């Protein structure tokens, strides 16, 4: 091993005996490192063949360290001094050179190379995992959204078809409102977050459309307080399943009141949304709550879990002849949304 200044070490390397020894270190340790990184690790360690990997790694280290010892003797053959005198050692036996010089150096180079390689592999694996999770999340959100849209479109088109025969004027008005809703779906909801004001306008148009097509008189009471900030955003179609569910399952009795109550307000970037509706006696059974709402409520629950983890509170209950939903949701505020709303 060298002692003294780096300049002295650099000068010694240029001398033939020392250069030969240094070349053996560089060449054989490089061979051992590359053999471990690109053959042993892919074929044994990554395939969880741990016993075979450790055995072959030990053989590689011992073989590399032994080969480097030969560099000392080859370098000494070009000098008039003995190996011990040339390299300033007390003993120049094979075992002494192997134990105190080449083995420790080889193990250190192997460990350093492995740590760099495994760290790099871990970073790449982590990056790929994050990309896969992101793609999975986006795919699932698109799937959940696609489940909802065709269901709504089918119901609305079917309602307009019924109105064409009963009341052409109402059908024409319904078609105009439906056109606005469709434009909203096709052109304004391609982002993960949209202005909350757009979502509220969509809900109001939907309510008006549903009022026109109801066969039985349903009293719809809505209270939507003015927004505190125009830059608040929400995931598109997040509130819609609750409203659609209320109209779908509201009681249709001719002897008792049929009603839907909706309340929405925003306080300190928190959305408070509640909607309740009267339900038919057939839905009063205790086990009917789990099936109430079908795929729409299941989808919106899943979307809340994906988009707002730990940022929402949702309660669904049935009592006193009514079905109710309450949602508290932490809203996001994004710069530039106000200008978007004004365009």
Domain ranges in the chain?
A: 6-128, 167-342
**pLDDT at site 277:** 93
Answer whether residue 149 shows pLDDT above 60: no
Q: Which of 251, 240, 219, 239 is nearest to 323 (CA)?
A: 251
Type and span of the H or E element at 190: none
Say what percent of the chain tops pLDDT 70.
79
Q: Which residue has the tokens 């050692």?
A: 89
Cα separation, 8 vs 18, whole angstroms? 12
Cα separation, 309 vs 2, whole angstroms? 59
At 330, the pLDDT band (50, 70, 90 cuts) reads: very high
Cα angle 15, 19, 23; round to 5: 175
Tens of pLDDT, residue by residue over 126-137, are 887 787 677 666
Burial class, 75, CB count within 10 angstroms (exposed 0-12 / middle 13-18 / buried 19+): buried
**pLDDT at site 343:** 35
Cα separation, 110 vs 104, whole angstroms? 10
At 342, the pLDDT band (50, 70, 90 cuts) reads: very low
Tens of pLDDT, residue by residue over 17-53, are 778 888 888 999 999 999 999 999 889 988 889 999 9
**Picking from 48-57, 66-75, 117-126, 328-337, which range would have the lowest pLDDT averaged per residue?**
328-337
- Residues paired with 234 in a beta bridge: 194
**pLDDT at site 262:** 96
Give me the torsion for CA of 203, 235, 294, 314, rounded to 10°: -100
Cα separation, 7 vs 182, whole angstroms? 78
* Beta-sheet pairing, 259-267 with 219-224: parallel
At 179, the pLDDT band (50, 70, 90 cuts) reads: confident
Answer whether residue 288 shows pLDDT above 70: no
Give me the torsion for CA of 155, 156, 161, 163, rounded to 10°: 120
**pLDDT at site 340:** 40
Distance between start and end Cα atoms, the chain: 75
**pLDDT at site 108:** 93
| Choices 3.30.460.10, 3.30.565.10, 3.40.640.10, 3.30.1490.190: CATH for 167-342 | 3.30.565.10
């Amino acid at each position: 091993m060298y002692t003294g200044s780096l300049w002295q070490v650099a000068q010694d390397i240029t001398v033939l005996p020392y250069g030969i020894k240094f070349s053996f270190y560089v060449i054989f340790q490089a061979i051992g490192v590359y053999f471990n990184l690109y053959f042993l690790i892919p074929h044994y360690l990554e395939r969880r063949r741990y016993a075979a990997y450790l055995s072959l790694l030990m053989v590689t280290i011992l073989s590399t360290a032994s080969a480097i010892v030969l560099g000392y003797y080859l370098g000494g053959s070009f000098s008039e001094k003995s190996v011990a005198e040339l390299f300033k050692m007390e003993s120049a036996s094979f075992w002494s050179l192997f134990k105190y010089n080449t083995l420790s150096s080889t193990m250190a180079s192997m460990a350093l190379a492995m740590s760099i390689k495994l760290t790099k592999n871990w970073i790449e694996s982590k990056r790929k995992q994050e990309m896969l999770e992101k793609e999975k999340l986006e795919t699932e959100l698109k799937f959940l959204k696609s489940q909802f849209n065709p269901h709504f479109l089918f119901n609305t088109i079917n309602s307009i078809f019924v109105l064409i025969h009963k009341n052409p004027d109402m059908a024409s008005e319904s078609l105009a409102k439906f056109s606005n809703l469709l434009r909203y779906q096709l052109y304004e909801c391609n982002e993960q977050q949209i202005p909350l004001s757009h979502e509220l306008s969509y809900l109001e148009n939907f309510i008006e459309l549903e009022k026109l097509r109801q066969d039985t008189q349903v009293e719809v009471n809505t209270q939507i307080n003015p927004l505190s900030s125009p830059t608040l955003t929400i995931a598109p179609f997040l509130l819609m399943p609750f409203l659609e569910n209320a109209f779908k399952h509201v009681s249709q009795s001719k002897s008792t009141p049929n009603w839907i109550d909706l309340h929405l307000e925003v306080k300190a970037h928190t959305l408070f949304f509640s909607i309740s509706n009267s339900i038919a006696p057939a839905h009063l059974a205790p086990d009917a709550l789990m099936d109430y709402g079908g795929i729409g409520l299941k989808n919106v629950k899943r979307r809340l879990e994906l988009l707002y983890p730990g940022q929402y509170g949702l309660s669904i209950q049935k009592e006193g002849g009514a079905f109710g939903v309450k949602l508290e949701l932490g809203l996001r505020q994004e710069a530039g949304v106000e200008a978007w709303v004004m365009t």
